[in-house]
Amino acid sequence: MNWKIVTLAGGFYYFGSEVQAQEGYIGITKASLFASFNGNKGMPGLARGDKDAKVSLDQFDQDGTILFPISAVYAIAPSVNLYEQKGTTLR
């Protein structure tokens, strides 16, 4: 899987596996919206799998693909699989 954290305009963070999307869009599957994150490690600590990092994820349909227009994307960061991270809570 090609796990990514996607940051969008408005301060929304999404997690999922990046997939091929139509031109002008970023696509992720197995997607979740961040409900919260902490552990005093910030987004870089979370993305690299720091043992003290904690995150709550609200899951979308895990078989679907979520598309974001590139114009709304602020950042795309590589990430460990947050679904397997000890500090992850799924909602």
3-90: CATH class: mainly beta
* Secondary structure letter of residue 39 according to DSSP: S
Tokens of 29: 């599957």
The per-residue pLDDT string of the chain (91 residues; one tens digit each, 9 = 90 and over) reads 899 999 999 889 999 999 999 999 999 999 999 988 776 767 888 889 888 888 999 999 989 999 999 999 999 999 999 999 988 999 8
**Who contacts 71 (Cβ-Cβ below 8 Å, separation ≥6)?**
none
Bridge-based pairing state of the strands 88-90 and 12-19:
unpaired
Cα distance between residue 46 and residue 20, in whole Å? 24
Of the candidates 22, 32, 38, 25, the residue with the CA atom closest to the CA atom of residue 87: 38
pTM of the full structure = 0.91
Domain boundaries, the chain: 3-90
